Structure 1
Amino acid sequence: MNAFQALAAPPLFARQPVFTADLGLYGHELLYRQALASTQAVFADLDAATLTVVAGAFQWQPGDLSGAQKILVNFGRRTILDKAPYALPAGRTVIQVDENVLLDDTLLSDLKALKTDGYLIAVNAFKARPDAAELLELADMAIIDLLDNSTGEIEALLKPLAVHKVLPLAKKVEDAQAFALAKKLGFKLFQGYFFKRPEIVAGRRLASNETARLRLLRITQSDQPDPDALGEAIRSDVSLSYRLLSYLNSPLHGQSMTTLSIPRAIMVLGWTQLRHWLRVIALTDLSPSARSEELSFLSLTRARFFELTAQGLGLSAAETENLFTLGLFSLLDTMLQSPMEEILSNLPLDDAVSAALLKRSGGYARWLDMAVSFEQGEWPELERILKDLGIPDELVAASYAMAMEFAVSFKRVGA
């Protein structure tokens, strides 16, 4: 790939949530790579990457746009000196600065100005370097990698943060045990894979709303509609009935319905579109917590990402539908804190989808690996997976960007 082609290729974006100790959503870190085939010298430059992230930052923020949720972006020395952080809103933006940055009077002056103007400063990859003491004095936050430090080293790093009243953020929190340890050590913010791993609660019974949503999912798995069963499931839920009626009466469909008729809804939308909408609604309704909101956003993104990629590859309609279902259901065990076997026992899924969800085996399992690598910003691993699957990086980048737009728009309006 030549330089022009690489520049023209769609960029790869990922967004990683940052949670508070009670699993409230603090904000998102935005990650970026120009293209998988980018050359290190030309395209992996942090400053060029940052400018692109800044330009599209708001596009990827679902839900709360009031300023309560923060945006964390890693800025290099040059982009700070070029005033790039000012492209993002003060009070909402956390400027991450690597601790090993060349720290001179010019950079310190610009960081002080940013802080005065309401931006938050975070020391990235914090190691308490003596030559970065002035950066720590400016910092509102310090990011510590849990996998890169022993417990003793972490405890030592937390001491100067307490003295300077700097908020500690634990990075690479991989499971519930690591989350519990980080809280015990005194971290206030947490980022990592832990929130996507299921914490199975022994003997937990599904709540009535969860059971109702799983029943709706079961009905929508059929290739042919059952108006009676569908009507009973929808009419028993006032909220769902209202939203479906509003959806049917939206300008998109040009209808004028005052009462909900399931046969007419099927006629207007078609069974494919109606069940698509119902499955997404059922998934987003499973739990109202910030953690589950993030999980449902990821599930929507995965489903649409797989669907668009499959369409771009020219896969059959059946395979495309299976891959959408795979993405949509891929985090159900975590959302419901129940074994996937138990959840799927009442859902009539294709064998290949079940194998991927239950055993991470079969041809579809690699698609789940692709989604995880993308979400974590693990670009070298993503490149290997795409080669295995025979998917062009331009297709996957464009599909993921459109999938995020879909998830964002649905979370704002569709639910």
Structure 2
Amino acid sequence: MRMIVRRPIFKRDRSVWGYELVSDKPWSSDGVGTVSLKRLVSGQLEKLAALGVGPGDGKKLFLNIDSEDLLHDAWSRKWDQCVFGICGGAVCSQACSGFADRAHELGGSVALEADGPSGAAVMDKCDIIKVSLAGKTPADIVGIRKRYKEFSGKLLATDIPDWETFEGTKALGFHYFQGPFFVEPRIEKGAKLQPSMVSKLQLLRELGAPVCEMQELARIIASDVSLSYRILQYINSASFGLKNKIKSIQQAISLLGLDELKHWATVVTMTDLDSTPNGEELAYMALQRARFLSGLASTIKACRHTPETMFLLGLFSMLDALLDHPMEKALEGIPLAIDLKEGLCGADNEYGDCLRMLAAVERGDWEMANGLLSRYGACVTKAATEYLKASRWAARQLPNMK
């Protein structure tokens, strides 16, 4: 079982341009031999659709082609959703130029790596230059930009660590951006939360109150018309599979129970904190993390925390980025256990280890992720299964919460 992460690529306006799928196992191997281009493309498109990104969404799929064998595949289909990143030994292949022509004929695009083998023979057919910022100084990046001053295509910056670097590459004229920068809060000195954010944080505090009666919960939810609508819409979606339509919050409480409705009201409120495309990606990650940690807690005998607590850990792990506010400030007044809050703020405890494991998975540091999973007695294969299940679940839930 693979552990598959969908890694977004953003445009200059911070909307999502496309995705690259990253796995803990090489895509080129199917356990028998080298996979065909047909199987690679169709397989990744199917996985991307399962993770909530279909062909009608207008998002690109970035695939790395590092084997010369794939360039000779005569398979033909519409490739308008595909961007082929030709890298490794494939760049020097004589078949590279013909592959680029065929990709363009079928609506696809071709990318080369700035630091990869010379692609002079296919440079005039290249649409995108991919520039990894890992280990590079600002002067290095400026030098690369000058090198491609006459390049008529577009530049993709990857491994962007923070928002400052994002703004720097944007100012240099880069078009696409990838990296862990978008999960970091954009904290501006003296900036205050918007009134809408303040009201939603207050909702989260009230929903988390240990003592909350039925009438009080109904009042809390009814105080936000948008929240009431979205909760009812979500409960009436296929996710719950209810036979009869729920028409009121009171009816929902009677049917689902107080604690269950509080749980889903909290989830819906969290996903509503930032309605931008960047915020939607963060909301997806929050749901995916929550479901993964909850499922993991159910499979690890040594785990001392309940699935419900682990769900909250994953859900709130994106709160600072969703609010563009320091985590310590964002959590003020929200009734969570002290050690859970400390873990969310980066403490060296079991909760903090779980979040560090998640971050390692998302950046593709499989050695660190597996080390942390093994420390707590987790089976890596089962963890991969839970991660994929959680990713698919998050992709299904998010559209119902909008």
Calculate the TM-score normalised by the size of structure 1.
0.86
Q: Which amino acid aligns with 2:6?
A: R
- Equivalent in the alignment of 2:285: 298
> What does 1:118-137 align with in structure 2 at a 5 Å threshold?
118-124=107-113, 126-127=114-115, 129=117, 131-137=118-124
Q: Does 1:270 align with 2:257?
A: yes
1:55 is displaced (CA, Å) by 4.4
- Equivalent in the alignment of 1:72: 62
- Equivalent in the alignment of 2:52: 61
Distance 1:46 1:190, change over 3 A: farther
- Equivalent in the alignment of 1:361: 348
Partner SS for 2:6 = strand
Query: Quick one: which of 287, 295, 301 aligns to 1:308?
Result: 295
Distance 2:48 2:71 in 1: 17
- Equivalent in the alignment of 2:206: 219
Distance 2:35 2:365 in 1: 16
Identity of aligned residues (%): 26
Q: Which amino acid aligns with 2:400?
A: V
1:240 is displaced (CA, Å) by 2.1
Q: Which amino acid aligns with 1:11?
A: R
Contact 1:284 1:293 in 2 (8 A): yes
Query: Quick one: which of 95, 98, 117 aligns to 1:106?
Result: 95
Distance 1:315 1:381, change over 3 A: closer
> What does 1:5-404 align with in structure 2 at a 5 Å threshold?
10-34=1-25, 50=40, 52-62=43-53, 65-76=55-66, 77-83=68-74, 89-98=78-87, 100-124=89-113, 126-127=114-115, 129=117, 131-223=118-210, 225-250=212-237, 252-258=241-247, 260-262=248-250, 264-314=251-301, 319-404=306-391
Distance 2:280 2:85 in 1: 25
Distance 1:390 1:295 in 2: 29
Contact 1:143 1:168 in 2 (8 A): yes
Distance 1:272 1:81 in 2: 58
Distance 1:54 1:114 in 2: 16
Calculate the TM-score normalised by the size of structure 2.
0.89
Flag structure 2 segments of 5+ consecutive residues without an equivalent. Answer: none
Contact 2:6 2:48 in 1 (8 A): no
Contact 1:206 1:336 in 2 (8 A): yes
Partner SS for 1:105 = coil
1:256 is displaced (CA, Å) by 4.1
Partner SS for 1:132 = coil
Distance 1:355 1:75, change over 3 A: same
Distance 1:199 1:247, change over 3 A: closer
Partner SS for 1:15 = strand
Q: Write out per-residue CA displacement over residues 69-122 of structure 1, whole angstroms, 9 at most, x where no aligned residue.
A: 2111112332332356x57x5222111111642533333212211111110111
Distance 1:102 1:257 in 2: 58
Partner SS for 2:345 = helix
Distance 1:78 1:148, change over 3 A: farther
1:226 is displaced (CA, Å) by 2.5
Contact 2:71 2:90 in 1 (8 A): no
Distance 1:294 1:344, change over 3 A: same
Distance 1:392 1:98, change over 3 A: same
1:171 is displaced (CA, Å) by 0.9
Q: Which amino acid aligns with 1:370?
A: M
Distance 1:46 1:32, change over 3 A: farther
Distance 2:159 2:48 in 1: 22
> How many residues were matched structurally?
397
Partner SS for 2:356 = helix
Flag structure 1 segments of 5+ consecutive residues without an equivalent. Answer: 1-9
Distance 2:259 2:316 in 1: 17
Distance 1:408 1:149 in 2: 35
Contact 1:340 1:358 in 2 (8 A): yes
